[in-house]
């Protein structure tokens, strides 16, 4: 492994990932806590590396009340590491294992695969069958559904993992739309399956998750911000890496010069890896800043006023604007956060798909926040169903289906209307009425 990360071109004009590029992409994918661990390991193992300045694990801190390092130590292990551990013990050919590792690097935070088989074939210059073998290995890992390309495949993998016969599993995922409406007769007619059987199969869907990896609302507590965004007095936004996010790793040229006479293969390999790490850290820093600056530029209005005013923005949009591969954007977004006005915000929050509305496209994130506000404002005797929320948003110009409301509500960790109704009814039943307060609205004054 030698030199600065570069993309080499073969005569076939297909991109080939050199070892140094693969190393750089691996580091780019890591959240900050894992990045620190990787850096510390390399520093301990490689005599040709040196760290200038303070330890990257002890940030000087613009927020002394929060020790980012201790928060990172408390963070649970990344799901990707658990998946890598499963791949590692499989009996796979070395090239299949390498492709599977690449696919893991293209999983988004929910466990969906961010790139297609065709894109991987072109990028790695390998046969389609080899990529498919690696994908099959990935999709056999826990949690069930990991590596899916869409919701249907995610549910199908979970059903197969639960030992549902393949034919029944295919029937279910092929009829999600009418099943979600309870159109048993329509599904029976379309599939030739008795209604009773369809109802029994549909009951299995209740135990499935739309996401292989669930992201809780408290996950942001474990995020260490990589980037600081500040608004200057003249209204501009300045974006910079925190010192703890950009350790000054250097190649020890003096030691390298002294060791030139050795010529041992092991030392030469360590020299190459040291140079590759320095280049990979620089690549990570530059790419992270480039992507975040474009996010800030695109979401300028939301940062100036209200985050619920975010504009639609997808990874593909960012990739096209910056002329980089979508999987590179996915690696940058994964597990990273910025700090703005004292708040740590996951980068993923700035990205969302577009929904149609009378006023033009609106981001899915903005719609989710509207749903949250509607539910927060609901009265205990008027709990809003997903259908009611859908109708209210449509009346307000947002084209959204009931099932999409249900999906967004799930993303927000908000229970169903029946669960909310039960919870509020239980709360009311435990309230001990105070006669003086009930009658007069305030305690008696004597």
* Band of pLDDT at residue 285, cut at 50, 70 and 90: very high
Q: pTM of this prediction?
A: 0.54
Give the residue from 207, 222, 244 where a domain finishes.
Answer: 207
What's the order of all strands across the beta sheet hosting 343-346? 237-241, 227-231, 337-340, 343-346
Number of domains comprising the chain: 2
Token readout for 417 is 């209307």
What confidence tens digit (pLDDT) does each residue in 315-373 have? 888 888 998 888 788 888 888 889 998 888 888 888 877 677 776 777 777 788 888 88
d(CA 301, CA 237): 11
User: What gap in Å lies between CA 245 and CA 229, rounded to an integer?
Assistant: 14
Q: Is 264 a domain residue? A: no
Report yes or no on 288 lying in a domain.
no
DSSP string for 411-435? HTTPPPHHHHHHHHHHHHHT----H
In a domain, 189, yes or no: yes
**Neighbour count for residue 156 (Cβ, 10 Å):** 22
CA 428 to chain centre: 38
How far is residue 374's CA from residue 367's CA, in Å, rounded to a whole number?
11
**CB contact at 8 A, 298 and 340:** no
The average pLDDT across 172-192 equals: 82
Q: Within a domain: residue 234?
A: no
Report if residue 260 sits inside a domain.
no
CATH of the domain at 368: 1.10.10
Q: Judge whether 376 lies within some domain.
A: yes
Residue 243 lies in a domain: no
The crossing angle, in degrees rounded to 10, of helices 265-298 and 32-45 is 160
pLDDT in tens, 48-96: 888 776 444 444 344 332 333 333 333 344 567 678 878 877 778 888 8
Tell me, yes or no, whether 75 lies in a domain.
no
Name the domain boundary from 207, 234, 251. 207
Domain assignment of residue 369, given as a range: 354-429
Q: Give the single-character DSSP code of 10.
A: P
CA-to-CA dists, residue 125 to 13, 118, 162, 215, 294, angstroms: 10, 10, 35, 34, 30
Contact 15, 9 (CB under 8 A): yes
**Measured CA distances, 4 to 44, 75, 104, 255, 396 (Å):** 21, 32, 24, 19, 53
């Amino acid at each position: 492994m030698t030199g600065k990360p570069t993309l080499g071109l073969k005569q076939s004009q297909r991109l080939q990932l050199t070892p140094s590029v693969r190393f750089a992409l691996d580091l780019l994918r890591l959240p900050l806590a894992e990045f620190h661990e990787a850096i510390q390991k390399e520093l301990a193992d490689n005599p040709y590396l040196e760290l200038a300045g303070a330890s990257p694990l002890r940030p000087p801190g613009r927020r002394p009340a929060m020790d980012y390092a201790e928060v990172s130590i408390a963070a649970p292990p990344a799901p990707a590491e658990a998946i890598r551990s499963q791949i590692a013990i499989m009996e796979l050919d070395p090239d299949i294992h390498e492709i599977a590792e690449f696919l893991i690097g293209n999983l988004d935070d929910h466990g969906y695969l961010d790139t297609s088989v065709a894109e991987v074939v072109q990028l790695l210059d390998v046969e389609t069958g080899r990529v498919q073998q690696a994908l099959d290995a990935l999709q056999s890992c826990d949690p069930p559904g990991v590596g899916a390309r869409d919701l249907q495949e995610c549910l199908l993998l979970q059903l197969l993992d639960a030992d549902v016969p393949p034919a029944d599993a295919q029937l279910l995922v092929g009829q999600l739309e009418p099943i979600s409406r309870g159109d048993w007769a329509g599904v029976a007619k379309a599939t030739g399956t008795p209604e009773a059987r369809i109802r029994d199969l549909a009951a299995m869907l209740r135990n499935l998750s739309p996401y292989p990896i669930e992201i809780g609302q408290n996950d942001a507590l474990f995020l260490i911000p990589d980037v600081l965004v500040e608004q200057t007095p003249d209204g501009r936004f300045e974006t910079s890496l925190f010192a703890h996010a950009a350790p000054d790793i250097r190649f020890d040229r003096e030691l390298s010069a002294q060791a030139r006479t050795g010529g041992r293969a092991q030392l030469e390999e360590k020299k190459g890896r040291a140079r590759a790490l320095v280049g990979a850290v620089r690549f990570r820093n530059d790419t992270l800043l480039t992507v975040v600056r474009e996010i800030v530029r695109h979401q300028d209005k939301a940062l100036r006023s209200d985050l619920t005013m975010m504009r639609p923005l997808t990874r593909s949009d960012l990739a096209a604007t910056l002329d980089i591969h979508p999987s590179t954007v996915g690696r940058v977004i994964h597990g990273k956060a910025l700090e703005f006005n004292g708040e740590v915000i996951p980068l993923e929050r700035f990205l969302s798909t577009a929904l149609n509305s009378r006023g033009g496209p609106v981001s899915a994130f903005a719609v989710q926040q509207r749903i949250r506000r509607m539910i927060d404002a609901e009265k205990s005797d008027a709990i809003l169903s997903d259908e009611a929320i859908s109708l209210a948003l449509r009346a307000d110009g947002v084209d959204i289906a009931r099932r999409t409301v249900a999906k967004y509500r799930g993303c927000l960790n908000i229970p169903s209307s029946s669960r909310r109704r039960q919870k509020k009814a239980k709360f009311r039943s435990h309230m001990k009425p105070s006669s003086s307060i009930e009658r007069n609205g305030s305690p008696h004054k004597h």
